[in-house]
Amino acid sequence: MHEWGGYFIVNGNERLLRMLIVNKRNYPVCFERSSFCNRGRFFSPFAVQMRCVRDDLFSQTLTIHYLTDGNCVLKFIYQKQEFLVPIYVLLKALAPCSGQSDGSTDTYIYNRLVKGYFQNRQISDKIEVLLADGNKLGLFSQEQCLAYLGSRLRTVLEGVTTDMSDSDVGRFLLERILLVHCSSFKDKFNTLCLMVEKLYAFVAGECASDNLDATSNQEVLLGGHVYVSLMAEKLYDLLLGARAKLIKDLKNPKFDFMTIRNPNYLKKLMDSQTSIGKKLEHFLATGNLVSRSQLDLQQTAGFTIVPDKLNTTRYLSHFRSIHRGQYFTEMKTTTVRKLLPESWGFTCPVHTPDGSPCGLLNHITLSCAPIGKEETEMAQKIPQFKQLLTKLGMHA
């Protein structure tokens, strides 16, 4: 009756999923890193990044790099591979105009990004350089841009069938992988324009860089979030494996096609794949993430720990520990280890271990409780509810 739970028992040991600190979802942050210059020709230290998160917790981080010639390029990682796409191609493919070769879409994009600041040559000249990519690539309509994306990425995208055209593959990429938190192409277009505007403002010195180590630019990835995301990916892998086995059986000339309708055959098809439970058990037992996409995280190990039962207080502290990520232990910078003034009340200023994880493995304060989207919406409605009761002459 005194057991509070919240952990898994694997091989007789208690395993606890760590709470991780990640970037705030669906918010563009601008920052400067000298290492970006090593990515290639014309690359500058300036970039804008957004961690796009869907309602089912699927996330995809997009980064827009500023080039020294005034152009921009978008970088995203898919299946552990890095892809660079010119911003013009994405803007043209997402623009709400018809996208015909009469130049109407280019005019719309120009007016949307310049926003009436035609006298500011610093902005308008960069937009003209950005739009000049259309002539270089020979892309003048929306369909051509979609086909360009589809032809380049057809071989790497999962879920693409042979009967899909290049344009359909391009739409599949924009709907399923890029800017996943937006449902319509219009919203995706406006979000992309917002990121480009912020990048140009950052380069021009009109806005300061965002501190990625500030609490206002972070959120907590709870153990359940990691577990559910991994389980969803393993379920998808199971279906892909079953489909591959089915296609192999169909190619066999001796295979009876009526067998597909037999429930026993479908059960056998699913049982032939590796058990999802075993994969999740391995993840909990070792803390190592074996994933195609790495769940958009920067680490592959150290997700679970064994709670130390020295005493009740020590045991309880494991449930309040919050980790910056294993990736940051190798970084030379000391900025990440500082406790900023706005962190007071959320992060304990004293409770952190000595040695290499000092300042990276913190503990949330007694009054701090990580809440989800549903709790946030409820909390926002409470003041409105109290105001309504006051108007009605009642007390909350």
Task: Say if 104 falls within a structural domain.
Answer: yes
- State yes or no: pLDDT of 151 exceeds 70: yes
| pLDDT at residue 387, rounded to an integer | 66
Cα-flanking dihedrals φ and ψ of residue 81, to 5°? -110, 145
- State yes or no: pLDDT of 95 exceeds 70: yes
**Dihedral angle of Cα 380, 383, 385, 388, to the nearest 10 degrees:** -140
Kind plus residue range of the DSSP H or E element containing 74: strand 72-78
Task: Say if 241 falls within a structural domain.
Answer: no
- Reported as a pLDDT band with limits 50, 70 and 90, residue 106 is confident
For 227-238, the pLDDT digits (tens) are 999 999 999 999
- Reported as a pLDDT band with limits 50, 70 and 90, residue 250 is confident
d(C-alpha 175, C-alpha 169), whole Å: 10
- State yes or no: pLDDT of 204 exceeds 50: yes
**Domain hosting residue 81, numbered range:** 21-219
Task: Say if 373 falls within a structural domain.
Answer: no
- State yes or no: pLDDT of 395 exceeds 50: no
Structural domain count, the chain = 1
- Reported as a pLDDT band with limits 50, 70 and 90, residue 99 is very low
Q: What is the pTM of this model?
A: 0.87
Would you give the DSSP letter of residue 25? Answer: B
CATH number of the domain enclosing 199: 3.90.1110.10
Task: Say if 14 falls within a structural domain.
Answer: no
Task: Say if 383 falls within a structural domain.
Answer: no
Task: Say if 348 falls within a structural domain.
Answer: no
Task: Say if 393 falls within a structural domain.
Answer: no
What single-letter amino acid sits at 320? R
Average pLDDT over residues 84-89: 93
Average pLDDT over residues 76-99: 87
- Reported as a pLDDT band with limits 50, 70 and 90, residue 194 is very high
For 54-83, the pLDDT digits (tens) are 988 899 999 999 999 889 999 999 988 999
Cα-flanking dihedrals φ and ψ of residue 369, to 5°? -140, 115
Task: Say if 69 falls within a structural domain.
Answer: yes
| pLDDT at residue 396, rounded to an integer | 40
Average pLDDT over residues 33-55: 92
